[in-house]
């Protein structure tokens, strides 16, 4: 992951991610011709498990890595925007503000 200080760069990197998948790939069991895999993920508040054919394992691993990269970029973006927002808020507090004036109209003093 490239460290950047410009949120726009992070957004550009996010836009390049065209495939990703959330979950965990696991070996269910060993078969005579190799392992059997499943992919577990939370979907609509439920744990969903699906079988992954051996031929699709490299693609699923790539998609899972893309999701990890996506998550890291989003966290980095959130951190930069939060820091910038806090700094702008602090700078706004430090600025000298004019003395507040009363909103009620003053009556002129009567002349004797």
pTM of the entire structure? 0.72
Question: How many Å apart are CA 15 and CA 4, to the nearest integer?
Answer: 15
pLDDT of 100: 65
The string of pLDDT tens digits covering residues 3-53 is 667 999 999 999 999 999 999 999 999 988 889 999 999 999 999 999 999
Q: Which range among 39-53, 60-74, 85-99 shows the weakest confidence by mean pLDDT?
A: 85-99
pLDDT at position 1, please?
A: 47
What is the distance between the alpha carbons of residues 94 and 12, in angstroms, rounded to a whole number?
Answer: 33
Q: For residue 95, what pLDDT band results from cuts at 50, 70 and 90?
A: low
């Amino acid at each position: 992951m490239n460290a950047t200080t410009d949120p726009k760069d992070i957004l550009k990197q996010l836009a390049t991610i065209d495939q990703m998948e959330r979950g965990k790939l696991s070996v269910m069991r060993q078969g005579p011709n190799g392992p059997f895999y499943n992919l577990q993920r939370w979907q609509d508040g439920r744990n969903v498990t699906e079988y992954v054919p051996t031929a699709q394992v490299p693609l699923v691993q790539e998609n899972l890595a893309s999701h990890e990269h996506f998550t890291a970029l989003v966290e980095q973006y959130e951190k930069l925007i939060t820091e910038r927002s806090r700094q702008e808020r602090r700078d706004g507090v430090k600025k000298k503000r004019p003395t507040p004036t009363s909103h009620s109209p003053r009556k002129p003093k009567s002349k004797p």
